[in-house]
Structure 1
Amino acid sequence: MSCVSDLVTGEAVELDLRHARLASRGLAFAIDVLLQFLALVVLYAIVFTGADVDTSLQLTIVFVIAVFVLVGYPVTAESLTRGRTVGKLALGLRVVRDDGGPVRFRHALVRGLAGFFVDFWALGLGGFVAVIVSLFSRTGKRVGDFLAGTVVINVRSPQPQVGEIAMPPQLAEWATQLDLSRVPDGLALAIRQYLGRFHTLAPESRAILGARLVTEVTDYTGTPCPPGVPPWAYLSAIVAERRNREAAKVWMSTAAVPHHDVQPPQRPTTPGSPGDAPFTPPS
């Protein structure tokens, strides 16, 4: 299964992401199944050791625990980590929405239920259904992905190179006030790709996708785009500020060792609002 996937957003704008190969997905699944098997063994041992229950009750307990582990584990993991289980983390995979954005609980729940009843267990013949459906899908989707509107990507694959995104000077001080801790990596990646392809997008698509990304970022930061600031400038400030903070963390982690020739990144110290100077689009 293949390589580069042009994920299409709701506004029909393609984002270059690399979808996961069937082999890597299978190995990630095997790791998760091993963990689930161990969890089942432990839970069954705890419940049935020394217990005196009739056969019908035993069957009920077995089924409930199996559903709890086989559905609850992937749903919980993908919800809390925005699309990753232990197996996916080990293989460098992540579940994202069809538009490249991060998955939420409802996506994970649909994938988990479909995985249990259709793709893998109840009717899936141990994963046979998932494999067959994936082979006929250009992006390697299984039934759960089609129902949830998701796709699995390889986040370790080399991505198209995008030049360093500069901080708009008018937004430098304003950006220091933002809470970026909740902005997921998947959304930041989509923003970088949007800015990297800014001049190759049709004007209408550029405006629609930019507005959509701004709305999604605002949901995480709680700070709307300032009046008069174009979407691309707001998004550039978000990406540049994330980069600046990561650089500052790296510098702080080495601060215990004297480095006389290294200075911390220069940061604005006074909060402010964007000025009235004109913005120059990304080059």
Structure 2
Amino acid sequence: MKYTDESPHLLDERDELMFPHARIASRATNFLIDGFFCFLIAWGINALYVRWLRPQLPDPSLFDHSLWMYVFLATLYSAYYLFLESATGGRTIGKYFTGTCALRHNGSPLGFKDAVRRSIARLFPLTPLLPLVNGIFLHDRATSTCVVALEKDLTK
């Protein structure tokens, strides 16, 4: 069965998800692809900053500290996931590539609140990299969501 936004529900008669949980390899591929796109966005924003904004600042060295860089990258990372997961019901560019999707535990697509919670949970160090029992990641468990395989995985 292929998931679409018009799917009436994603649970079977036993209230279990009709899709299997995504494989660890798919989750790692999602992380790498999404990280690459976050890097491209950050590089583009930095190029704009250096070219147009920085020369206009009265004291450009103010923003040269690593704390600003951390705040910028954390905000960008959260905004990337928040925007994509809320706009697409739980998918990012990496999830499209691997045929996976983040869903609520009840099988319904993610809403804005779910995407906010997942984005905040990802900010804790190593959270996206630490699988717990049965491959369920800490940010999934903390937000009552899961990532499922919807279609053929291109990483196999």
- TM-score normalised by the shorter chain: which range applies? 0.7 to 0.9
- Matching residue's letter, 1:84: R
- 1:100 and 2:107 equivalent? yes
Q: Distance in 1 between matches of 2:15 and 2:48?
A: 52
Distance 1:85 1:56, change over 3 A: same
Give secondary structure in 1 for the equivalent of 2:101: strand
Does the Cα contact within 8 Å between 1:96 and 1:102 map onto a contact in 2?
yes
Between the aligned partners of 2:85 and 2:108, the Cα distance in structure 1 is 13
Q: CA–CA distance in 2 between the matches of 1:97 and 1:153?
A: 10
User: Which residue of structure 1 lines up, in the alignment, with residue 22 of structure 2?
Assistant: 20
In 1, Cα distance between the equivalents of 2:145 and 2:31? 17
- Give the count of matched residue pairs: 136
The reply on whether 1:32 has 2:38 as its aligned counterpart is no
Between the aligned residues of both structures, percent identity stands at 27
Match of 1:55 in 2: 61
Aligned to 2:5: none
1:88 correspondence with 2:95: yes
What are the superposed Cα offsets for residues 158-195 of structure 1, whole Å, 9 maximum, x if unpaired? Answer: xxxxxxxxxxxxxxxxxxxxxxxxxxxxxxxxxxxxxx
Superposed CA deviations along residues 97-122 of structure 1, whole A, max 9, x for unmatched, are: 01111110111111111112x2xxxx
The residue that corresponds to 2:7 in the other structure is none
Rounded Cα–Cα distance in structure 1 between residues aligned with 2:71 and 2:114: 22
Q: Deviations over 1:104-154 (max 9, x none)?
A: 0111111111112x2xxxx22xxxx4333x1x322x222211121100000
C-alpha contact 1:94 1:155 (8 A) present in aligned 2: yes
- Residues 1:141 and 2:136 are matched in the alignment: yes
**Letter of the aligned partner of 2:78 in structure 1?**
V
Name the amino acid aligned to 1:58: D
Q: What secondary structure sits across from 2:82 in the alignment?
A: helix
Deviation, 1:58, is 3.1
Distance in 2 separating the partners of 1:20 and 1:41:
30
Structure number, greater radius of gyration: 1
C-alpha displacement of 1:41: 0.8
Is 1:69 the counterpart of 2:76 in the alignment? yes
Partner AA of 2:143 in structure 1: A
Shift of 1:57: 2.8
Match of 2:4 in 1: none
1:55 counterpart letter in structure 2 = S
Q: 1:113 aligns with which of 104, 110, 120?
A: 120
Q: AA paired with 1:145?
A: D
Q: TM-score, normalised by structure 1?
A: 0.44
Pairing 1:123-202 to 2, within 5 Å after superposition = 123-124=125-126, 129-132=127-130, 134=131, 136-138=132-134, 140-156=135-151
Aligned to 1:191: none
TM-score, length-scaled by structure 2: 0.76
Highest RCO, 1 vs 2 (Cα 8 Å, sep ≥ 6): 2
Q: 1:62 to 1:15 in 2, by over 3 A?
A: closer
Indicate conservation of the 8 Å contact 1:43/1:65, yes or no.
no
Whole-angstrom CA distance in 2 between matches of 1:44 and 1:156 = 36
- The 2-side partners of 1:81 and 1:130 are apart by 20
Q: Name the CA distance, whole Å, in 2 between partners of 1:26 and 1:15.
A: 22
Q: Are 1:78 and 2:73 an aligned pair?
A: no
CA distance in 2, matches of 1:15, 1:78: 19
Ranges in structure 2 where 5+ consecutive residues have no aligned partner:
1-10
Structure 2 distance, partners of 1:46, 1:15, is 44
Calculate the aligned-residue CA RMSD, in Å: 2.3
